Amino acid sequence: MHTPRTSSLALLSLLLAAPLAAGCASENLGAGEEGSAGDVVSSGESLTIDEAVFSRCSTTAVYGLSEQLIEELNCMRPGLMSRIDGIPGVDLGGAVFPYLQSDAAAALERVAARRGSRMFVTSALRTLPQQYLLYRWFQTGRCGIGLAAPPGRSNHQSGLAVDVSPYGGWISSFQAEGFRWLGASDPVHFDYRGEDVRNLSVLAFQRLWNRNHPEDPIAEDAAYGPQTASRLALAPPTGFPVGATCGGGAPTPAPELAAIEVYWARQADGSYALRALAPAAIERVVYRVDGYDIGEATRADGENFPTSYTFSSETNERLFEVLGYDADGEQVGLGVGLIDVTEGTAVYIKQMGEDLYEIGLERAPEGVAFVEVQVDGRWTLPDIVSGETRSPRGAVRYRFGTLGERDFALTTFNADGSRRGTLYRTFTLR
């Protein structure tokens, strides 16, 4: 079996040991994503992505591999991705990878036509190797990258996001065509509602790697873990010798993962007690926040896999995951949630079963008598526990027929029915 290079193992240690504070999934890279054109450029077929991190400050270094990933995605899901460099009235920055999901690309064309003036896009789709470069530049203090999401976590990797500069005159046109503006947190950024395919893009790389390295196969599990990270570091930026193959039979599906019920509770000392209820086949769970492992437990520790963790910083809207493994070490389960790490009132979203989620308040302010949850600005969810849309439990539990990214508005009411306030969260249901 192939053994990864020492430098890549050291790199992997950096990836997994990075502090939680650096794991924020939001970015504000915009036009400043690329570095100086005067950087030294290495060339040669032996160059790896790990080596490309230090050879130049441009994601164009991995365009060859990125094109192969698009081809593989379109083999797995015909018509998923489309080019945007031919859209009338849309100009692209020199380093923009010119792809979006096909529905998002069509909507972008309507946005440009609606306003009738030229649009300048500074970022669109970022493939897995492109995000790897950005994250490593952030970690190593290179190329002017002040913040970047870990590979597999950026919303640009789904091909639904664009950054536009200047952005102010475009907000209403984007919103009219189904895009969501991120506002002050990332003013250049617009997201189109669609399927989250970040895991599918990881699977595309895993398939390409295995096709070219039968002596060193990795799991085709659509999860960005240590195996995938170490092989991505060794991959050729210009692409593999064998690229996408659309005629090789049905694509390898991502494994079906059993749903894990997710629980946490803030303690008086500020630490969090972590728990999970998992099917009998699961012997070990790993707790993860924003892509970083924060603890693990085995069934021998207790049927609900108890452990605890104290966060170094308090931040809202963090991705909470519980990964479940069987006795052979294979991942067979997953549970997800949104955790607000804060001492005061906090919104939570917790997976409670297959397609079943609970949205509610932790430590609700005194006087709150009811909670109402609206999704995507259109539907008020009935609580399947209380049977009410204005839930007296401080939470609403609901089984969703459609997964993917959803917008939630959580409104609180006094006992007399008067409205108190509304909190907003966006979360991807899996």
Quickly state the pLDDT bin for 95 (edges 50, 70, 90).
confident
- Candidates 3.30.390.10, 1.20.1050.10, 2.60.40.10, 3.30.200.20; CATH matching 256-343: 2.60.40.10
pLDDT for residue 4 is more than 80: no
pLDDT at residue 23 is higher than 80 = no
**Looking at residues 233-261, what average pLDDT do you find?**
77
What is the structure's pLDDT at 35? 35
- Three-state secondary structure string covering the chain: CCCCCHHHHHHHHHHHHCCHHHHCCCCCCHHHHCCCCCCCCCCCCCCCHHHHCCCCCCHHHHHHHHHHHHHHHHHHCCCCEEECCCCCCEEECCCCCCEEEHHHHHHHHHHHHHHCCCEEEEECCCCHHHHHHHHHHHHHCCCCCCCCCCCCCCHHHHCCEEEECCCHHHHHHHHHCCEEECHHHCCCEEEECCCCCHHHHHHHHHHHHHHHCCCCCCCCCCCCCHHHHHHHHHCCCCCCCCCCCCCCCCCCCCCCCEECEEEEEECCCCCEEEEEECCCCCCEEEEEECCEEEEEEEHHHCCCCCEEECCCCCCCCEEEEEEEECCCCCEEEEEEEEECCCCCCEEEEEEEECCEEEEEEECCCCCCCEEEEEECCCEECCCCCCCCCCECCCEEEEECCCCEEEEEEEEEECCCCCEEEEEEEEEEEC
Q: How far apart are CA 257 and CA 50, in angstroms?
A: 31
Return the pLDDT at 247.
59
Please write the tens of the pLDDT for every residue from 329-388. 989 999 999 999 999 899 999 999 988 999 999 988 889 999 999 998 878 999 999 999
* Predicted confidence band of residue 30 (pLDDT cuts 50, 70, 90): very low
Could you tell me the fold of the domain covering 6-10+18-198?
Muramoyl-pentapeptide Carboxypeptidase; domain 2 (3.30.1380)
Are 278 and 258 contacting, i.e. CB atoms less than 8 angstroms apart?
Answer: yes
Residue 268 banded pLDDT, cuts 50, 70, 90: very high
* Domain-wise residue ranges, the chain: 6-10+18-198, 256-343, 355-430
More confident site: 183 or 56: 183
Quick check: do 256-343 and 355-430 share a fold? yes
| Measured CA distances, 352 to 262, 303, 314 (Å) | 6, 16, 25
Token duo for residue 252: 């390898």
Is the pLDDT higher at 4 or at 199?
Answer: 199
More confident residue, 291 or 356: 356
Q: How do residues 126-185 score in pLDDT, each as one tens digit? A: 999 999 998 999 898 888 888 888 887 777 888 999 999 899 899 999 999 999 998 888
Asked if residue 94 lies in contact with residue 36, where contact means CB atoms within 8 angstroms, the answer is no
Confidence tier at 59 by pLDDT (50, 70, 90): confident
Q: 377: closest CA among 421, 424, 338, 412?
A: 424
Evaluate if residue 72 carries a pLDDT over 90.
Answer: yes
Whether 5 has a pLDDT exceeding 80, the answer reads no
Q: 46: pLDDT confidence band, cut at 50, 70 and 90?
A: low
- Could you give the percent of the chain with pLDDT greater than 70? 87
User: In angstroms, rounded to a whole number, what is the distance separating the alpha carbons of residues 76 and 238?
Assistant: 21
Question: What's the mean pLDDT in 197-216?
Answer: 92
Superfamily (CATH) of domain 355-430: Immunoglobulins (2.60.40.10)
Tokens found for residue 6: 């020492």
- Nearest CA to 305 among 286, 330, 326? 286
